[in-house]
Structure 1
């Protein structure tokens, strides 16, 4: 008999869709994928060269569990210069991707039965990760009128003696919403008063179209002490398959996460770490150019959506997604259990375009598209989405 743990988790929706797309393509079907959040850029050349050089120098033996010293030093430099957060290298722990970093953080600070507050809509894996470590995920119902951003007043309503941690994603996947300094200040004041940790998932912080991104840990030493910042290289440096993320936290938490990681994976791939080092040290211009491209794409996508009937959306100020409101379509669409799942399945079947159902993020009347792909792909994908929506609305009028 297998573990009962398997009965309480669901497979990743986005990975499931990505796998289906790959299988369709292998069968010779021409599919447009606006689903998975994977940059269509290549890893910057100078970063790759650092990885190649490390292999040529036979840097393939065990190293320090929390990560290469030179990489942790470079991360500390980055956090200070870009995020106004001062850390020492013993407060940085590298992990095999941001997912691994989040799991290590949850393992380090939660006990079975502790509650983790997760604002909706949420990235698909937060809910399952929390259950996997035997903590209890609690969804916070946010409001579309506020771009689904958490507020201090709302947060207070969900806190009880079992609450251990708030998981906050900024910029947000799936909405692209970005918090202001004032909004974050009000939230962290509640967390300090109620003595709960903040897990700040800032994996998209470089892909921010506002004037300035505010890292939660930069709001003061008292905030920094209760905050575990998660970041990585998949989104900013297109290193999705290399699996490299990291945390920045106080020394006690970092020591705990390092102890856990020492038993689970030892340390992330050294080659990936050297490539990550190169990305931070030599590739800022490459990353800036990627962000400018994403911003241009964002403008094209939102212009197209503005001209479409029966849709609304959250205007994205960061990341590379648009969370599209199809509540008008849902009223006309005939479905059995989940509008967004059945809508997305039929759309993929009829029009060969993959998008992600909102149910995966906790809100069923929405879908998420990614514009981390070519302009030609997402414009054609949106054209087909418009046709599908009009087909539904015309048929049911």
Structure 2
């Protein structure tokens, strides 16, 4: 029988180079601590704490009763793709056809499909930073070269058009960003994105993945899609889904809109990996889009209230540098004031150390900023009840006071 080291050495270089998702890893640690009997408040996971709206659940039950239990078309049911086309026209003023739409098992798969279909080994991929933890790892799988481009806290972590202009080289193939952003909650407005589009107009070899999964969780104004700029529309892959806006994380339905050739390539890739998304989930997604945005707007108002609550509590904690998140349900304070401080012989060297200290001492789970490309920060999710958030930051303040 082979031992563990022998089996590990047999694994591919590809998988050994890949990092585990730090958000999932921290959530796992929090569950393990909770299983030991500790009262852990988990602010590490990007998951709405709301139930999926009842009308969506009812559509899923009906789909089962109506016999939708067979394989689905790889790019999605025609009905769902048409509803997504309607959504883009209604919400984003974007004109697509069903042939431009590919439905996948979550927006993460949509992003991976697009990266794998666009990036060759050695291609440079500019990633607006701080970034969602999986972007860099997906680029790594495609054998591309990630080029993080850091936005400043003073600009709410938003990368500017001038920064992008300086970062593009002859090897740049792709730009990736999310708006509203995970982990910062930043939202690029129309003026900012049009300035970015002006830069991209000069570089026809550069494509863009615009991750809009948090589109409906926007506290300040109207969402603007980069693909609305006609001059670059054919080079923009717009990714969205149902997990955040409709509280459908477990249903695993995401989608992309792209030029027909890109969509066809992603269809081909997906046909060899997962084939079509769950039939029941797709029927639920049709109902979600047909039902409008009322439930999404109710959830967004709750997130706005929680954001304000968390900001008030954070601003009462010495050493946290904050800003105003204008979307999503995260805040990403600079916590570097605590680096170098100690408690019971343990020195805090970085945000990973601080997040582990908070888990062990305050029993509050958050994610260190290294995973998001910003080692001076920690990501806290405020997708939790007011009571849990209040208790979490009471504990955090008490624990941080122990660091000297």
Name the TM-score class by shorter chain: over 0.9
Structure 1 length-normalised TM: 0.96
Aligned 8 A contact 2:336 2:351 in 1: no
- Aligned partner of 2:120 in structure 1 is 111
Q: How many Å apart are 1:336 and its aligned residue?
A: 6.7
Higher helix share: 1
Task: Give the direction of change, closer, same or farther, for the CA distance of 1:163–1:360 in structure 2 (3 Å limit).
Answer: same
Counterpart CA distance in 1 for 2:262 and 2:185 is 29
Match of 1:374 in 2: 385
| 1:297 corresponds to | 306
The question of 1:140 aligning with 2:149 is answered yes
Matched length: 392
Q: 1:336 to 1:8 in 2, by over 3 A?
A: farther
| 1:221-270 per-position Cα deviation (integer Å, ceiling 9, x unaligned) | 22211100000111111111111100001111111111111111111111
Does residue 1:327 correspond to 2:336, yes or no?
Answer: yes
Q: Deviations over 1:116-156 (max 9, x none)?
A: 10122111111101101111111113222211111111112
- Structure 1 residue aligned with 2:105: 96
The alignment status of 1:149 with 2:158, answered yes or no, reads yes
- Cα offset, 1:169, TM superposition: 0.8
- Cα deviation for residue 350 of structure 1 reads 1.2
**What is the rounded CA distance, in whole Å, between the counterparts of 1:213 and 1:45 in structure 2?**
26
Contact 1:44–1:283 (CA under 8 A) maintained in structure 2:
no
Deviation at 1:54, TM superposition (A): 0.9
| Residue among 361, 369, 373 paired with 1:350 | 361
Give the structure-2-normalised TM-score: 0.94
Partner of 1:29: 38
- For the residues of structure 1 that align with 2:120 and 2:342, how far apart are their CA atoms? 43
Partner of 1:280: 289
Q: Conserved in 2, the CA contact under 8 Å of 1:66 and 1:267? A: yes
- Offset, 1:215: 1.1
Alignment map for 1:179-198 (pairs within 5 Å): 179-195=188-204, 196-198=206-208
Kept in 2: contact 1:175–1:314 (CA 8 A): no
Counterpart in 2 of 1:5?
14
Per the TM alignment, residue 31 of structure 1 is displaced from its structure 2 partner at its CA by: 0.6
2:211 equivalent in structure 1: 201
Output the CA distance in 2 between the equivalents of 1:336 and 1:88.
56
